[in-house]
Amino acid sequence: MSWLEFVPSLAVAVAVLFGPGLALGLSIGARRLTLWAIAPAITVAFLSLLAIVYGGIGISWSLLPVAAAVIVIAVPIAIVRQLLRGRIGRPDRPESVLSGWTVAGLGLAAVVIGAQLVVGLQAPDRISQTFDAYFHLNGIRYILDTGSASSFDIQGLVLPEGQRPFYPAGWHAVASLVASSGIASIPVAVNAVSVVIAALVWPAGCLLLMRSLMPRSRTAALATGVLAAAFPAFPIMMLTFGVLYPYFLALAMLPAALGLGFAIGQARSLHGSGTLFRCVLLVLALLGIAFAQPAGAFAWAAFVLPLVLWRAVPAITRLGGVRRIVWWAVLGLGLVAFAGLWIWFGRIGANTPWIAYTNLLGALGEALFHGFKASFPSIVPCVLALIGVVDLIRRREKLWFVATWAVSIVLFVVAAGGPSWKLRAWVDGIFYRDPPRLSALLVITAVPMAVFGVVALWRFVQRRAGSRLAPGSATARALAAASLAVLLIATQANPAMWTQLGLTIRAYTDAADAPILSGSERKLIERMPEHIPADALVAGNPWTGTPFAYALTGIRMMSPHFNSYLYPEAKIINERLNEALEDPAVCDAVRSAGVTYVLDFGGYFKDAGETGLEIDGTTPYLGLRDLAEAGVGEEVDREGDAVLYRITACD
């Protein structure tokens, strides 16, 4: 598939991710950058809630019912808002002088990140060679098959009837709508959503965040466009490691929510015009983030906490008597409650295998220069971020944001170099104690801090040049354009970025030695409908890429994921199918489950996400090997070393 053929899928992904949010945000009263930046989070919140409602009442999940719901909800809201106009807080006045610079910043980021993804993905229909991709791509197929994208239903992909725990399915609701359009296969739909999130959602949020920190700086708008694409750890690494599509979406939406939170927290009065409006948008944004990945909502709270304390402590200190005691108690109880929730939700990471791989000092160096696990550091953007830190401290401006930046540093340092398992569980359990997740989170604060550094350097140059560099002069414009070009080249043509792009290329390869699914194996999968009934059930070692058969063809797999518990007979089939002629219990299990075919992709596999885990993906599936030699199965189709067998021993 060519990139030109990819354009319609990309357009559908833009419409799905932005359309509902733009309509609903516009009806509430959002405008221009605020509307554009917050629309994806509103979309995810709306689609996630709508999917639960539709799943409960039996309405099939597709574009038309979703579009109808958008109209039914947006129009009345817009009417009510017009009737109440003047009685409720108005939204911000739209940008005027900054609008053109904002568009330029958005365009810069979109082009650069888009180019990175073209290089990294190599083709629009490539599949991530990572173990988590099984669940996400097959989850989309499951939604298309069942007609439900509810967070209470999607676990039916891997769990038996009656076991339906809640799983935040915001990303799956979005991606499945793109796939339901019929113009894109599931891999193409997934990649279209990824490109839109990385190239459009993320930069818009960064610009809204920067506007809350430096509302009138044109330099900041342009620098944000370049620096949003300057850190390898996000967005490009999150499409390589894992692959963590839901977490990737949550982090991309996080800057917009932070921008709203910082705007509210910096307001002179919380009773001022527009505060209620921002609060409504913020609640919707946080709901969208939580439905993508709840860790993102907790990260928002941790990043906003320094500003809350910065405003609350002086305000409480100025109070007198009993009121001061009461508000100190309220603040203290609030902090204790937040810490308790952080640790309680962090139990999800209590048993994860990710270990600390360095000491505290080494982790601090990695956090400051983004050189993770001895990879190349991101010198230019990280030096700019440190300049920003020094400048804010020197001028005693926005010191609370320096503390926010420090929070992200601490979270990573504890995950990568924490000396105590319990400490790492308490601090980073909600992020599964996983250093790569925290390295991506670092970028959320590093981008605006690096922008502060750029603005500080530009301010220094202007002071030294004096009248020769008057704002708006031809000389100033020429120097600004040249500086921007140098910054762009310096952040892109560096070993750190190209090393990460190399890892991404490897994670989306379809070569013969691909980590999980080779090109020949995929060709065999795509021919399966020519040989197999649509209602067939197929066995296969899930570590070797066989689960992708469900996403690519719709043919059911006995093991659609390596953590699948659909069939109690799976264990005996996986371990002893090649003994079916000697052991009648094997054929009993085969008939009970209804398995009729086997995909044999050998025993080679390697997660391209570079998790470093030692996994035994061979021993539990030895029964699926050498079926023809054992007289248990006959070859139906072959592509290279990949073979499709029909089980004959149990006829």
pLDDT < 50 positions in the chain: 92, 94-97
Distance CA 291, CA 584 (A): 47
- Check whether residue 68 and residue 102 sit in a common domain: yes
Asked if 580 and 621 count as a contact pair (C-beta separation under 8 A), the reply is: no
Distance CA 443, CA 488 (A): 17
- Check whether residue 497 and residue 561 sit in a common domain: no
| DSSP secondary structure string for all residues of 332-397 | HHHHHHHHHHHHHHGGGGTT------S-HHHHHHHHHHT-GGGPPP-HHHHHHHHHHHHHHHHHT-
- Check whether residue 461 and residue 554 sit in a common domain: no
pLDDT on residue 543: 93
- Check whether residue 494 and residue 613 sit in a common domain: no
What value, to the nearest 5°, has the Cα angle with vertex 108 and ends 238 and 260? 65
**CA quadruple 552, 554, 556, 560: dihedral positive or negative?**
positive
pLDDT on residue 471: 67
Distance CA 152, CA 201 (A): 26
- Check whether residue 456 and residue 484 sit in a common domain: yes
- Check whether residue 472 and residue 579 sit in a common domain: no
Q: What predicted TM-score, i.e. pTM, was given to this entire model?
A: 0.95
Asked if 170 and 48 count as a contact pair (C-beta separation under 8 A), the reply is: yes
Cis peptide upstream of residue 235 (ω within 30 degrees of 0): yes
Report yes or no on 512 lying in a domain. Answer: no
- Tally the domains of the chain: 2
Report yes or no on 514 lying in a domain. Answer: no
- Check whether residue 162 and residue 238 sit in a common domain: yes
Domain residue limits at 110: 3-505
Question: 627: which 2 tokens?
Answer: 């079926």
Length of the chain: 651
pLDDT on residue 94: 45
- Check whether residue 374 and residue 474 sit in a common domain: yes
Share of the chain above pLDDT 70, in %: 95
Report yes or no on 511 lying in a domain. Answer: no
pLDDT on residue 609: 67
pLDDT on residue 96: 43
Distance CA 647, CA 633 (A): 4
Among residues 505, 537, 566, which one ends one of the domains? 505
pLDDT on residue 611: 61
Asked if 26 and 200 count as a contact pair (C-beta separation under 8 A), the reply is: no
- Helical packing angle, 435-465 and 399-417, nearest 10°: 140
Closest CA to 407 of 438, 383, 434: 438
Query: SS3 for 126?
Result: coil
- Check whether residue 221 and residue 326 sit in a common domain: yes
Distance CA 343, CA 335 (A): 12
Asked if 432 and 348 count as a contact pair (C-beta separation under 8 A), the reply is: yes
- Check whether residue 477 and residue 577 sit in a common domain: no
Report yes or no on 513 lying in a domain. Answer: no
Among residues 473, 505, 537, which one ends one of the domains? 505
pLDDT on residue 97: 42
Report yes or no on 286 lying in a domain. Answer: yes
- Check whether residue 289 and residue 349 sit in a common domain: yes
pLDDT on residue 465: 76
pLDDT on residue 475: 74
472 Cβ contact partners less than 8 Å away, ≥ 6 residues apart: none
Report yes or no on 290 lying in a domain. Answer: yes
Report yes or no on 137 lying in a domain. Answer: yes
- Check whether residue 72 and residue 123 sit in a common domain: yes
pLDDT on residue 600: 95
What value, to the nearest 5°, has the Cα angle with vertex 222 and ends 281 and 19? 35
Distance CA 298, CA 259 (A): 15
Asked if 550 and 138 count as a contact pair (C-beta separation under 8 A), the reply is: yes
pLDDT on residue 65: 97
Report yes or no on 248 lying in a domain. Answer: yes
Among residues 505, 530, 545, which one ends one of the domains? 505
pLDDT on residue 121: 96
